[in-house]
């Protein structure tokens, strides 16, 4: 960027970079929150439902299947899935 006499950030965003510097005490890391994470040997985890967003009945020839749209914990609403009500 020496040929255009401009820093890469300034070229992309049209202004100089304003870096915020923050100093903090270094210490032991602690997981805080209402629930601790369960560590499994096979590196898997369990998805937990957070809310039911919608309900629908899908009608087959002789049977009606109830479905619910589930919002999973730690996922955005666009990733909600339709599941059978029994599962």
Tens digit of each residue's pLDDT (9 = 90 or more) over 68-85: 999 998 888 999 999 998
Q: Is the pLDDT of residue 14 over 80?
A: no
Q: What is the pLDDT of residues 21-51, one digit of tens each?
A: 666 666 676 666 666 667 778 877 778 888 9
Rounded to the nearest 5 percent, the helix, strand and coil shares of the chain are 10, 30, 60
Within 10 angstroms of residue 80's Cβ, the number of other Cβ atoms is: 19
Q: Is 51 helix (H, G, I), strand (E, B) or coil?
A: strand
Cα separation, 87 vs 83, whole angstroms: 7
Q: What percentage of the chain reaches a pLDDT higher than 70?
A: 63
Residues 60-76 as b/e (b if ≥16 CB within 10 A, e otherwise) read: eeeeeeeebebbeeeee
pTM: 0.49
Q: Where are the domains of the chain?
A: 48-87
Looking at residue 47, its pLDDT comes to: 84
């Amino acid at each position: 960027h020496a040929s255009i006499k401009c820093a890469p950030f300034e070229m992309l965003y049209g202004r100089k970079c304003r870096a915020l510097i923050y100093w903090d005490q270094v210490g032991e890391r602690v997981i805080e929150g209402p629930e601790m994470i369960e560590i499994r040997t096979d590196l898997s985890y369990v998805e937990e439902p957070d809310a039911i967003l919608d309900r629908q009945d899908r009608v087959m020839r002789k049977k009606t299947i109830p479905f619910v749209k589930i919002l999973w914990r730690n996922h955005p609403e666009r990733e909600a899935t339709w599941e059978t009500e029994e599962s």
